[in-house]
Amino acid sequence: MKKVLITGADGFIGSHLTEMLVAQGYDVKALTQYNSFNNWGWLENISCKKDIEILSGDIRDPNYCKLISKDVDTIFHLAALIAIPFSYMAPDSYVETNIKGTLNICQAAKENGISKLIHTSTSEVYGTAQYVPIDENHPLQPQSPYSATKIAADAMAMSFYNSFDLPVTIARPFNTYGPRQSARAIIPTIITQIATGKKEIKLGDTSPTRDFNYVKDCCRGLIMIAESKNTIGEIVNIGSNSEISISNILKLIKELMSSDVTFVHEEKRKRPKKSEVFRLWCDNKKIKEMVGFESQIDIKTGLKKTIDWITKPENLKSYKSEIYNV
């Protein structure tokens, strides 16, 4: 049985990845963000909690990273600060977590002889598409402090492959959505507000397009990349090879929830003009050819699953739908 370490296991994608790896027979060490409440995030509610080793710590500490990565075959590095609006206000914290944290994980993986490191990137590093669909050779554009730190983190991870032969793969998911996603993202923001009876929802720009990929598909992609030797030293997109505008996503959610809510544009919710990423559409040809991956959940089915999960009272109470989540 392979032993894996997941950083950011307490988060949205990390918790789903934890469940999927356990279901496939992996021995999982799950790293959560240390806090004085000893709260394990979304891992608190997963059914396989007794089958995993849960750790609480911080990837910003290099000694801790070395300690937890001993006797591990594979590392899935997902821990990061990801909210774009907050990166405008606190960019230094993004440097510390996303860049320095990735350096610490790479150094720990190197010193402990890890067999494979999956470093999780983001489609935000591409910025507004210069051509579509976006393949792995598309130029990188730092349109926010968040994306700048992820570009640097990707470069750091790849430098360890080039300099030390560390078996690294950079997995680059496009816009992942599904149960447990935080309300800083557009889909849970809309669902939670409709579910709590809002008749008017304030939004920023709804014209951008995104390639939305259901979380289970994203996790399958990460595991397939990890299990393939062909992906070492490669950057690999994970996406559905389709795009939909935010405005059309809103209409679809409204229809699926049988809502008469109205959407109002609010200037303060828009990103700075040069910072808005207007188009993201994944070219997933490489991941198809390398590991045979294809998305299985279409957008309508995925939204239904997400709505069903969020609107359960026990889940809805976890969201602060009455405030603007940054």
Kindly list the averaged pLDDT for each block of 10 residues, start to end, along the chain of length 326.
95 98 98 97 96 98 98 98 96 98 98 98 98 98 98 98 98 98 94 95 93 98 97 98 97 97 85 93 98 98 98 94 70
Instruction: Give pLDDT, residue 269.
Output: 75
Half-sphere exposure of 211 (CA within 13 A, CB side): 28
Instruction: Give pLDDT, residue 322.
Output: 74
How would you write the chain as a 3-class SS string?
CCEEEEECCCCHHHHHHHHHHHHCCCEEEEEEECCCCCCCHHHHHCCCHHHCEEEEECCCCHHHHHHHCCCCCEEEECCCCCCHHHHHHCHHHHHHHHHHHHHHHHHHHHHCCCCEEEEECCHHHHCCCCCCCECCCCCCCCCCHHHHHHHHHHHHHHHHHHHHCCCEEEEEECEEECCCCCCCCHHHHHHHHHHCCCCEEEECCCCCEECEEEHHHHHHHHHHHHHCHHHCCCEEEECCCCCEEHHHHHHHHHHHCCCCCEEEECHHHCCCHHHCCCECCECCHHHHHHHCCCCCCCHHHHHHHHHHHHCCHHHHCCCCCCCCCC
The class (CATH top level) of 178-210+242-280+298-316 is alpha beta
Query: What residue spans define the domains of the chain?
Result: 3-176+213-238, 178-210+242-280+298-316
Q: Record the pTM.
A: 0.97
Instruction: Give pLDDT, residue 326.
Output: 62
CATH superfamily of 3-176+213-238: NAD(P)-binding Rossmann-like Domain (3.40.50.720)
Instruction: Give pLDDT, residue 303.
Output: 98
